[in-house]
């Protein structure tokens, strides 16, 4: 009887399908149960539930595993979510094996949570810099000419491409981090990865500058006579520093956000008011 019970308690082996399912569940449930107390921890638990049920056959141990994955958690969708879902699956599998074999529990509750807590902020920063700060603007820049021509592809193309990119990247990172276990954190902290992140961040700034230069249109209508000769301010600016007015607007908005925080509505209202005043007095 005891032997049969021991067999019944044995953790099942996790497969590639399990990891794929875990990340897909996380990907599509990421923001749905968002709360101020747990943030997106319920999404992580929802993603991990099928895996935890395969690993822990004892109802009490399963409850403990649920509670471990329901502690405060917040990170970026693909980089943070991909790495951490794969890593948690790997660490929980090792924890379940230690319990089944009556070994010393190396995968303690503190180690599991500290691993998540240590990675979720760092990976969110990487994901925001690369995905939100670079990749999405590349797709948008590619689609703007279609949007200007009135083509629906201008709106559809960046949405589909960015969504596909994030899903594919998250799946890749989840499988890689599961296979590598805790060594995945060392890879992400390597000098090569950090150099790639810095280069992509610089590329993102270039893309922002290109978009601003091409699609932020601000010109001056001010003209005046001096010694019988007419001077048009916009022509003078174009001959000295082309694009200085769009650059001034973009930098003004940037410094506003730097000083006041990311108050988008306030920034738009102030920008609109300033442009209306400048247009009314004939400068723009």
Alpha-carbon distances, residue 123 vs 48, 65, 119 (angstroms): 19, 23, 6
3-state helix, strand, coil split of the chain in percent (to 5) is 75, 5, 20
Q: pLDDT tens across 3-28, in order?
A: 445 557 788 888 999 999 999 999 99
Higher pLDDT, 159 or 107: 159
The domains of the chain are located at 2-211, 216-280
> Of the ranges 69-83, 212-226, 249-263, 265-279, which is most confident?
69-83
pLDDT of residue 187 exceeding 60: no
| Average pLDDT taken over every residue of the chain | 80
pLDDT of residue 171 exceeding 90: yes
- Name the β-bridge partners of 224: 231
Residue indicated by tokens 């592809």:
153
Torsion sign (Cα): 190, 194, 199, 201: positive
Residue indicated by tokens 């609109």:
272
Alpha-carbon distances, residue 231 vs 161, 219, 274 (angstroms): 47, 15, 24
Higher pLDDT, 85 or 114: 85
Higher pLDDT, 126 or 221: 126
Model confidence at 172, pLDDT cuts 50, 70, 90, reads very high
Model confidence at 209, pLDDT cuts 50, 70, 90, reads low
The whole-number pLDDT of residue 1 equals: 43
* Of the listed ranges 40-44, 141-145, 168-172, 280-284, the one predicted with least confidence: 280-284
Higher pLDDT, 114 or 187: 114
Mean per-residue pLDDT, 272-278 = 81
Q: pLDDT tens across 73-91, in order?
A: 888 899 989 999 998 998 8
Residue 252 near residue 261, CB atoms below 8 Å: no
Helix and strand counts by DSSP (H, E) for the chain: 13, 2
The whole-number pLDDT of residue 199 equals: 61
């Amino acid at each position: 009887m005891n032997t049969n019970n021991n067999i019944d308690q044995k953790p099942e082996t996790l497969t590639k399908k399990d990891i794929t399912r875990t990340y897909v569940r996380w990907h599509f449930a990421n923001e749905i149960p968002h709360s101020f107390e747990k943030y997106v921890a319920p999404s992580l638990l929802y993603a991990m539930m099928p895996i935890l049920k395969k690993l822990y056959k004892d109802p009490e141990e399963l409850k403990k595993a649920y509670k471990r994955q329901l502690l405060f958690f917040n990170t970026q969708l693909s980089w943070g979510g991909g790495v951490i879902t794969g890593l948690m699956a790997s660490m929980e599998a090792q924890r379940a094996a230690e319990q089944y074999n009556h070994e010393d529990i190396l995968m303690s509750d503190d180690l599991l949570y500290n691993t998540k807590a240590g990675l979720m902020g760092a990976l969110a920063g990487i994901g925001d810099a690369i995905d939100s700060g670079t990749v999405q603007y590349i797709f948008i820049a590619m689609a703007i000419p279609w949007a200007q021509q009135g083509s629906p592809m201008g709106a559809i193309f960046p949405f589909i491409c960015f969504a596909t990119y994030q899903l594919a990247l998250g799946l890749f990172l989840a499988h890689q981090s599961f296979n590598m276990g805790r060594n995945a954190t060392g890879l992400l902290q390597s000098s090569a990865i950090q150099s790639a992140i810095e280069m992509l961040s610089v590329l993102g700034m270039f893309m922002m500058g290109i978009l601003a230069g091409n699609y932020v249109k601000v010109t001056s209508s001010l003209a005046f006579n001096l010694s019988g000769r007419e001077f048009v301010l916009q022509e003078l600016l174009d001959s000295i520093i082309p694009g200085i007015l769009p650059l001034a607007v973009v930098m003004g908005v940037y410094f506003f956000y730097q000083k006041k925080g990311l108050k988008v509505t306030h920034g738009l209202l102030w920008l609109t008011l300033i442009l209306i005043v400048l247009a009314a007095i004939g400068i723009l």
